[in-house]
Structure 1
């Protein structure tokens, strides 16, 4: 219970109780032996006092009364110190999940009414499965006391049944084998009457959206983990009755795989709420995306470190049986490894060797760190088999084309392999051969286009009229016939006339 000023919570304010359950003998035992050591005797008495406001054997509301009744029943003085003490006891009950307190503004007035909604205690099985409650009880009474206390809530199974472990067969009879309903299975008038007299305080909640069902984060989980002194605490409290806001929170949590604790950290940051308290979904998604990328990077680093630590142990294990490679699936030996092994040996290495060893063969010294990390991330994150990664290494490094040795190209090839379902050595070889044929056809097409461009001058004359004038070219003709003396003399005479002699 968060009270900003003591005069907001006084003995003059009215209150009422709501509960929709009844305490059993097991519940009373849990309150006495489990909850009271955690919350204290005053808070446990406060819970019992609130429970008795609704008559036993009934559920629903209590009459409106001034809070003076609570102060007098608990023996708390009606002053500032007493008000703070009563508010503190209510906060303790809220923290362990036994109470929810709300403040209701009276329409047309300045007065407020306090609502105390009681929650049933957890069953023994649920309580001891709740980590923070069990640890808090351990801090109060000790570990061995907790173990002894747990045994008090369970009746032991007979030894004969525990040792025999008999097979169980369900022989129960379902409802519709014994009973038959009238032809008219629904009665709208009856359902309406039951809903009108029901003690429920609000209409049944609408069906949850798919993202809410998938994320599974409730308002209670958020407010339980959210810091009390946070500036955004008031905005988060408004999400209790805001179905759309909680749906947005669950959508972001489902989209990025975040837990309730992660969402509390995001909602505690600046800029995720509007000045009027509305949730800014775009800002929240941006911060969630950043957290998702950081968590993913940390997971990859952790997996990489664990893989390196497990490498020496795995090297001592029994060697894996080698798998032979058929002739139809063998690839050519790259130029870097020419003379060091033949095609069958190279393909056997590519099929059976770990990708770390196979990658090392393409470099005379150490493998570049970025390239080693790239293939290690492919191994740990994308879960490609080692043989497929080796074929990828052959495709990237074995062709001796420097434009392929980039992070962008490697990521594009891996993504294409994953989309096409390349998960075996044979499929990877087929993929590489297909890509090689595609690249070969592309080179041939480009070469043909270059040749057409080079001969464009001749082909251009056929498409249109040339702008250059047609200049006759004197052809050089040769013949084997010898000229006579008269012909030679005539040629010399003509030459002299042309020279002006």
Structure 2
């Protein structure tokens, strides 16, 4: 409970309590044995006093009364020290999740009202699944006492059943098999009456998160640095189920651990000035961290792949046997043409056998007179070790991008796009890869044919089409002098006459 001045928290200020539950026998045992050991008997007595403000058989609000009732009920004096003690004990209950205090301002009045909302204690399973609460209890009572306390809440199964492997069959009777409702399923009068008598304060339904990282508030706060500027904002996440659900979604989406999440929450501009969590900014930085981790894992995976390849090569050399790996034959219907770079060096049968059986690291060197560019080697390393395409499929990809004599295709973006398309279409064999390449070539030929037909359409069209096209032009169409057919050569007399006429037009002669 944060109180700026004790003059704002006196015995004259009014209060009321609210609870939406009733304590069961297990709940009372949890308060007496577990929570009282953590917060002390005085704070546990305050919890019971606030609980009794509403009748045992009811839920809802208590009467509006001055806080003098709380001070007298706890045996505290009516002065500043007594009020400070009440605030300290309420803070203990707030810290373990049993109480939430809200200060309400009355309109047109300087008076304030305090609301004490009591929370139900956690069940034994929920409590011992919370690391921060379990560690606090261990610090208070010791490790062996924690184990004994947990065992005291559970009744053990009979030894005869615990050690036997039994088959389980659900023989329960469903609702509609036993009961039959009236044909008029909806009663408007009953619905209206239930709405009128319903309490004004309805419990907020908890949204079901199907995808979550399962990170609890205690796991975050126990690792978050105490001297951080965002510490106060992170502490406000306690009890804020919506914000914790958003954090868990981001952690699940980008595979973040608790340490990674604490590192992101400790950065600047993750929280607004008022302490609200900026989800878009958090997702942006989580995505950057995810991409960095993925890049490092990809590089590590490629390094391991190189080491395994070296070990396999050394093992083959050290092997005393002369076993030659069996080659897989290629059927004639799946033959690909020999590229221009390899023309004259091998026939179509040899080329397809190399493409089907040779490793891609050896196959790609045949397209270059010298060393293979380093960036091209890295691109195919990613395709091999990260995308996990088969060796024969990678060779068909090399044939497609390097053997078609199109320099525009030899780019990292294009090669990666083709490999990704193969992955999406499930190309996992040499034959399917050949079919994919032939399909792409056919699509490119059809596209080129349509482009040529579109370019030749204006020339084949008549005068109406030319006139219609001229209407759409903003510039005037300039006629072009047609080529004259070659005739008889000009004689010397005709040439002299042409020169005389030209000089006359220039004014040099009459």
TM-score, length-normalised on structure 2?
Answer: 0.67
Aligned partner of 1:404 in structure 2 is 409
Q: Contact 2:301 / 2:385 at 8 angstroms: preserved in 1?
A: no
Q: 1:27 to 1:359 in 2, by over 3 A?
A: farther
Aligned partner of 2:499 in structure 1 is none
Q: Does residue 294 of the first structure (1) align with residue 299 of the second (2)?
A: no
Cα distance in structure 1, aligned partners of 2:48 and 2:326: 71
> What's the secondary structure of 1:101's corresponding residue?
strand
State the aligned residue count: 452
Give runs of aligned pairs for residues 245-394 of structure 1, distance below 5 A.
Answer: 253=250, 284-285=279-280, 288-306=283-301, 308-309=303-304, 325-332=330-337, 342-349=350-357, 353=359, 370-378=375-383, 384=389, 387-394=392-399
Give runs of aligned pairs for residues 87-98 of structure 1, distance below 5 A.
Answer: 87-98=87-98
Q: Does residue 8 of the first structure (1) align with residue 8 of the second (2)?
A: yes
> What's the secondary structure of 2:434's corresponding residue?
helix
Aligned partner of 2:201 in structure 1 is 202
Give runs of aligned pairs for residues 20-39 of structure 1, distance below 5 A.
Answer: 20-39=20-39
Give runs of aligned pairs for residues 102-113 of structure 1, distance below 5 A.
Answer: 102-113=102-113
Give runs of aligned pairs for residues 480-499 of structure 1, distance below 5 A.
Answer: none
Q: Contact 2:21 / 2:59 at 8 angstroms: preserved in 1?
A: yes
Q: Contact 1:10 / 1:83 at 8 angstroms: preserved in 2?
A: yes
> What's the secondary structure of 2:101's corresponding residue?
strand
Q: Contact 2:19 / 2:118 at 8 angstroms: preserved in 1?
A: yes
1:371-413 C-alpha deviation (Å, 9 max, x unpaired):
4554454567656555544433443345565543322222332
> What's the secondary structure of 2:163's corresponding residue?
helix
Aligned partner of 1:153 in structure 2 is 153
5+ unaligned residues in a row in structure 2: which ranges?
Answer: 317-324, 457-476, 491-510
* TM-fit CA distance, 1:168: 1.0
Report the more deviating stretch, 229-238 or 177-186: 229-238
CA RMSD of aligned residues (A): 5.3
Cα distance in structure 1, aligned partners of 2:327 and 2:75: 83
* TM-fit CA distance, 1:295: 1.2
Aligned partner of 1:494 in structure 2 is none
* TM-fit CA distance, 1:348: 3.0
> What's the secondary structure of 1:132's corresponding residue?
helix
1:265-300 C-alpha deviation (Å, 9 max, x unpaired):
77876657777x59797xx53552343133133134
Cα distance in structure 2, aligned partners of 1:89 and 1:280: 29
Q: 1:322 to 1:74 in 2, by over 3 A?
A: farther
Aligned partner of 1:41 in structure 2 is 41
Q: 1:449 to 1:263 in 2, by over 3 A?
A: same
Aligned partner of 2:481 in structure 1 is 467
Cα distance in structure 2, aligned partners of 1:35 and 1:8: 29
Cα distance in structure 1, aligned partners of 2:396 and 2:76: 79
> What's the secondary structure of 1:164's corresponding residue?
coil
Cα distance in structure 2, aligned partners of 1:287 and 1:322: 53
> What's the secondary structure of 1:120's corresponding residue?
coil
Aligned partner of 1:414 in structure 2 is 419
Q: Contact 2:270 / 2:281 at 8 angstroms: preserved in 1?
A: no
> What's the secondary structure of 1:392's corresponding residue?
helix
TM-score, length-normalised on structure 1?
Answer: 0.68
Q: Contact 1:300 / 1:377 at 8 angstroms: preserved in 2?
A: no
Q: Contact 2:251 / 2:261 at 8 angstroms: preserved in 1?
A: no
Give runs of aligned pairs for residues 140-219 of structure 1, distance below 5 A.
Answer: 140-198=140-198, 200-203=199-202, 205=204
